[in-house]
Amino acid sequence: MRSSGEKNLIASSGVQDDAISDNAGSIVNGSPSSRRHLILTLLFTITVINFIDRQTVSVLAPVIRAAFHLSNEAYGRIVAAFQFGMMSGELPMGWIMDRWGSRIGLLGAVLVWSSATGAQAFVGSGAKLAATRFWMGSSECGNYSGGMKAVAQLFPIKERTLAIGIFNSGSVIGSVIAPPLVVYLAQHYGFRTAFLVPASMGAVWAALWWLIYRNPARDESTAAVVQEPLRSLLQQPSTWAVMLCRFFVGPVIQFYWYWLPSFLFTAEKMSMTRIGALSWIPFFLGGVGGVAGGWSAGWLQRRAFGQYDVRRITMYGSSILCLTSLAVPFNHNTVVLLLMMSIAIFGHNFLSANMYGAITDLFGENAVGRVTGLTGVAGGLSGLLFPLLTGFLVDRVSYTPVFLLASVMPLVGTVALLVIARRHRFDAVSGR
């Protein structure tokens, strides 16, 4: 029997009762496992495509900077334009997913960002490239709010973090595929072709999504849950906890995505061919980290650990691994360098799976899309500022202070989440 305080707490989180705290319960029962896993495969695939799109500019950074005569700060502004687009689109995309569902929402997002990806093949200046990157970012953010919405609807609580880890691992698999694919296309067909191929892949995926996915039918108990107003969500400490966490965690992997080729090219004097051959390795191990983070959370949940303890163990442990970023600029041996980056990116993706899982711990399915969007706004803001700071520091100091910041920010974000969203919120919402 719950106390009245617990009931109020649970209601304020958008979860009305035990049946809805596992708000996928009846939906999952009516959705065959094979179809759920097919949809999860599609979510993984579009995340791979999404991150090939994102990585194209970073992989081609040395070529694009030479073609358009860009300084580090000018390149940082292009990265920041994409992040500003992400920040601007997060909340509208989250609202669309909560209002119209993942089928229509993700379809529209993918078609818009694929058009923007293709348009980058035709730009002729840094300013125009920045404009198309903003356009792309404003819709690519729908990947996560739509994916989180689908996972929250289709998977029970104890399977969600693993499902999130699997579809989120597409981000690093995309980062693994991007360097060799983009370098190959650029060297054989010109760098502009490297934008057209992933744009075409997105169009094919959109057709498959429309044919396969259906928004799950809701039963009476789920239908009774009213959409929680945005103002109410912003009044909850848990919302600010997950927003602050993503503010500090998000820019770290983005730094690796967007600046790693430039770092290896300028600081480590690697050729473009060698970058294409080696830079996928840390991202591949990062993909393993995302799946491992989801599996570990499920393993702890099956052994009756409370949700707070699951997140505390997994997130503090993985944020400590992220501290290895500090060692990167001080090692010039290629093997050691790749090892340090691999450990840091493994830890980051392990952490990210549990950060996103915490959103489904703390909020009901009726709010997951918008809360994910709000965390994206926070991540977009830091993702906008961090590239500008990176360009400034690299031009005037070196990469060393940037790697220092990248090493400690995941730990700061973890502390913010677990201190503000305290144990009683996790355990009350999960019905413990």
φ/ψ region of 237 (left if φ > 0, alpha if ψ in -120 to 50, else beta) reads: alpha
- The C-alpha torsion from 72 through 75 and 76 to 79, rounded to 10°, is -160
- The residue type of 260 is L
Rounded to an integer, what distance in angstroms lies between the CA atom of residue 37 and that of residue 163?
A: 9
Q: What is the pLDDT of residue 222?
A: 40
Place of tokens 């900077």: 65
Sequential pLDDT tens for the chain (432 residues): 334 343 343 344 433 333 333 444 434 444 567 788 899 999 999 999 998 988 888 888 888 888 888 887 788 788 888 878 888 888 888 888 888 888 899 999 999 999 999 999 898 888 899 999 999 999 998 998 888 888 888 888 778 888 888 888 887 788 778 878 888 898 888 888 889 999 999 999 999 999 998 766 553 334 444 567 778 888 888 999 999 999 999 888 888 877 787 788 877 777 777 777 777 788 888 878 888 988 899 899 888 888 889 999 999 999 999 999 998 888 888 888 889 999 999 999 899 989 988 888 888 777 777 888 889 889 878 877 887 888 888 888 888 999 999 999 999 999 999 999 876 567 655 554
Task: Tell me the H-state helices in 267-306.
Answer: 272-278, 280-302
Please say whether the beta carbons of 28 and 36 come within 8 A.
Answer: yes
CA atoms within 13 A on the CB side of 224: 9
- Fill in the DSSP letter of residue 227: P
Place of tokens 């649970």: 10
Tell which residue, 176, 347, 134, 145, has the closest CA to residue 249: 347
Please say whether the beta carbons of 136 and 202 come within 8 A.
Answer: no
Please say whether the beta carbons of 7 and 17 come within 8 A.
Answer: no
Q: What is the pLDDT of residue 134?
A: 93
Q: What is the pLDDT of residue 277?
A: 74
For CA atoms 69, 72, 74, 77, give the dihedral sign: positive
Rounded to an integer, what distance in angstroms lies between the CA atom of residue 324 and that of residue 350?
A: 14
Collapsed DSSP state (helix, strand, coil) of residue 243: helix
Q: What is the pLDDT of residue 217?
A: 58
Domains in the chain with CATH codes = 4-214+230-429 (1.20.1250.20)
Q: What is the pLDDT of residue 423?
A: 66
Please say whether the beta carbons of 328 and 402 come within 8 A.
Answer: no
Q: What DSSP line would sit under 76-113, residue for residue?
A: HHHHHHHHHHHHHHHHHHHHHHHHH-HHHHHHHHHHHH
Please say whether the beta carbons of 56 and 175 come within 8 A.
Answer: no
Q: Angle of helix 102-119 relative to helix 142-154, nearest 10 degrees?
A: 160
- The residue type of 304 is A
CB atoms within 10 A of CB 360: 26
- Fill in the DSSP letter of residue 149: H
Q: Angle of helix 61-68 relative to helix 33-59, nearest 10 degrees?
A: 40
CA angle 206, 106, 374 (to 5 degrees): 155
Q: What is the pLDDT of residue 384?
A: 77
Name the pTM for this structure: 0.70
CB atoms within 10 A of CB 158: 12
Q: What is the pLDDT of residue 156?
A: 82
Rounded to an integer, what distance in angstroms lies between the CA atom of residue 48 and that of residue 169?
A: 8
Place of tokens 């005569």: 69
Structure-token pair, residue 394 = 């690299």
φ/ψ region of 101 (left if φ > 0, alpha if ψ in -120 to 50, else beta) reads: left
Please say whether the beta carbons of 286 and 349 come within 8 A.
Answer: yes
Q: What is the pLDDT of residue 37?
A: 86
Collapsed DSSP state (helix, strand, coil) of residue 203: helix
